[in-house]
Chain A
Amino acid sequence: GDSVTQMEGPVTLSEEAFLTINCTYTATGYPSLFWYVQYPGEGLQLLLKATKADDKGSNKGFEATYRKETTSFHLEKGSVQVSDSAVYFCALSGNAGNMLTFGGGTRLMVKP
């Protein structure tokens, strides 16, 4: 079945550092890929998505590129802020498009 693997956290960075959170997936066909963010005490918010190979999703300075050859969708941001501290989830929606499969989440802590 479909699965998503993302790097375990916590990831601790200083403000303005470069962020990479790795995500790889296993799925048949051509899934859609997503990054969701969960701020402390809140629900899940869609951060960005990509629906086909080589697409780049971007939002709020975050980017991720759908790499079919490496089955990856790594999240990057050039300069993190304290307000980016949250848990980040990589997810996929398979060909049937009928559910999201999540990775285990990566906690990001940004220190001033």
Chain B
Amino acid sequence: DTAVSQTPKYLVTQMGNDKSIKCEQNLGHDTMYWYKQDSKKFLKIMFSYNNKELIINETVPNRFSPKSPDKAHLNLHINSLELGDSAVYFCASKGGLRYGYTFGSGTRLTVV
């Protein structure tokens, strides 16, 4: 059983399109995250939800819109995709304070 699963694993799309990445965790964790990893492997927080409520929203273009239908799911919708959005996007979840974070296997987004 995969603890944090993301779909799709690979996504190739044209500029201007709208796409979604889905994330589900079966760990019963309250908090979920989206991180972006750029081509130089640098990881940066994008969003965090706790029990379906947005708690972190870093400086991210408003073309990116997270949605959490329940505490086990955190999806990422991206409008009007740009070349610079090409990256690997990781979903993660966390239980209580000071527990480790569990990451999904990533979604490699390529905008052409």
Spell out A's residues near B (CB within 8 Å).
Answer: 32, 34, 36, 38, 42-46, 49, 51, 87, 89, 93, 97-102, 104-105, 107
Q: Which residues of B does A touch, CB under 8 Å?
A: 31, 33, 35, 40-45, 48, 50, 55-56, 90, 92, 94, 96-98, 100-106
What's the nearest-Cβ distance from chain B to residue A54, in Å? 16
- Check B48 against A44 for contact (C-beta < 8 Å): no
Name 15 interchain pairs, CB-CB below 8 A, sorted by A: A34-B101, A42-B106, A43-B104, A44-B43, A44-B90, A45-B103, A46-B101, A46-B102, A89-B43, A98-B48, A98-B50, A98-B55, A100-B33, A100-B35, A105-B41
Q: How far is the CB of B61 from chain A (nearest CB, A)?
A: 19
Report the Cα distance A34→B106, complex, angstroms. 19
Cβ 8 A contact of B100, one of A34, A42, A87, A104: A34
Residues of B within 8 A of A105 (CB): 41-43
Q: Is the interface of B mostly helix, strand, loop or mixed?
A: strand
* Separation of A1 and B23 alpha carbons in the complex (Å): 28
Ranked 3 nearest A-B pairs via Cβ: A43-B105, A97-B97, A44-B103
Q: Which of A32, A87, A104 contacts B98 (CB 8 A)?
A: A32
Most-contacted residue by chain B among A42, A43, A107 (CB, 10 A): A43
- Min C-beta distance of B8 to chain A, whole Å: 14
